[in-house]
Amino acid sequence: MSGIRSALAGAMIVGLWSRKTLKLMAVTGLFAAALTFTSTMAQAGLILNGGFESTTGGTAPGQWGTFYATNWTCAGPNCAAGAVGVFAPGTAVSGGGPFTIYPGSPPFPSTSPAGGNFLGVDACYNVQGGTGAPCSPSAITSVVYQEVDTPGGLLAPGNYVVTFLQAGGQWVGYSGATTTQWEVGLGSTCLFSCTNSASFVGEIDYSQSMVNAPGGNGTTGTYVGWEQQTVSFTVPSSAATTPQYLSFVPIGNVNIPPVVFLDGVDLETAPEPSTSWTLGGGLLGLSAVGLLLRARRSPGVVGPDTVPNPQGRGSAAPDRE
C-alpha cells in the first residue's frame, strides 16, 4: 500500500517537483522493487539435481540395476531390484531397455518437457494382492527423497511450493488399466508411508491421479503423458530446527505393474501476499512516475519547469537542478 499512497501523493503535488526529484523517485522505486524481488527469490532452487541429469555408479540410465541419481536417496526393498531407476532419453519404451512401458500411439515422448533424463518407478514391484487394490503407500515398496539444499537442511518457517512433472505407463508384458500418482512429503525423513508413519513430522500432498486405460486389443497398455504438478506446504515454527526432506512415494495398483515417472523437481518459497503487494506497489509507483514525466512534457501543463504562454502551450524552461 505504501507504493499506492506514494503514487497518489505524487499526483497531487506534480507541479511542485523538478525533474531531478522525479528521477530520484524512479530510481528509488526501481530499487525497492528489485529488493523485494531479490528477497522473494532468496531461497529459490532448494533441490539439487531435480532433473536427474547427474548419475553415479556403474549402471547406465535405462538399464537394470541400483538407483543411481546424484543427491537423491532411495529407501525400500525395491531400490536395488531394478524397479527404480533413471531413464535416459529413449530408454523408457519397449525396445529401449529391460524396464520399459508400452510406447502407445503416438509414442511416449523420449524426453520429458524438462529434457534429458527422468526417474521411473514401478510402484507395485513384487507386491502381491488383489488386482486393482493400491499397493502404495499402504504397502510401501520404495521412496525417493532428498534433504533440502540449505545449511543443515533447515527451512525458515513459512509457505513453500513444490513443482514437478509426472507421467505414467504400464510395464511391457502386462495388461489392464493402471492408476498412478505421487505422494509428496515435506518434513522429517519419510522412509515408509508418510501417512502411516508416526516418525514422520511434516505435511503430505498428492499429485493428480493418472488413469491409464488398456489398449484397444485388451492386451497392451497406453500411457499418460507428461503433466505439470504443483503442491503447497507450510513449515511451522516448531520445525525451524528440524532438517527438512522432500520425498516422493509412488502409488499404484497391485498386479498390474504401474510405472510412474518424475522429472523437473523444484522447491521454492511461496511469495507472501504482503510481498506481492509491496512489489506491486513499487511497480505502480514507477508507473506513476512515468506518467508524471510524460505529463511534464505535454502541452498546457503548468509547473515550475514550464512557462505558460497565451496560446496555452508550455515551453520547457531550464531545469532547476
| DSSP labels, 86-140 | EE-TT-SBTTS-SS-B--TTTTPPSS-TT-S-EEEEETTTT----TTSB-TTTT-
Whole-angstrom CA distances from 53 to 87, 99, 291, 316 are 10, 19, 48, 61
Contacts of 40 (CB under 8 A, 6+ apart): 269, 271, 275, 279
**10 is written with which cell numbers?**
505524487
Contacts of 249 (CB under 8 A, 6+ apart): 136, 137, 140, 142, 143, 182, 183, 184, 185, 190, 193, 194
Amino acid at 31: F
Q: Specify the pLDDT at position 253.
A: 80
Q: Specify the pLDDT at position 182.
A: 95
Contacts of 294 (CB under 8 A, 6+ apart): none
Report the alpha-carbon distance of residue 102 to residue 257 in Å, rounded.
12
Residue 308 has pLDDT above 60, yes or no: no
Across residues 258-264, what is the average pLDDT? 94
In angstroms, the first-to-last Cα distance of the chain is 30
Q: Specify the pLDDT at position 60.
A: 76
Report the alpha-carbon distance of residue 311 to residue 300 in Å, rounded.
9
Q: Specify the pLDDT at position 21.
A: 47
Across residues 238-252, what is the average pLDDT? 92
Q: Specify the pLDDT at position 142.
A: 82
Q: What residue ranges define each of the domains in the chain, with the CATH number in brackets?
A: 2-41+273-316 (no CATH), 73-269 (2.60.120)
CB 88 within 8 A of CB 78: no
Q: Specify the pLDDT at position 256.
A: 72
Across residues 257-284, what is the average pLDDT? 74
Q: Specify the pLDDT at position 140.
A: 65
Angle 19-40/2-12 helices, nearest 10 degrees? 170
Q: Specify the pLDDT at position 131.
A: 53
Residue 206 has pLDDT above 50, yes or no: yes
Pick from 118-132, 194-208, 231-245, 292-306 the range whose average pLDDT is largest: 231-245
Across residues 40-61, what is the average pLDDT? 78
10 Å CB burial of residue 238 (0-12, 13-18, 19+) is exposed
Contacts of 132 (CB under 8 A, 6+ apart): 253, 254, 255, 256
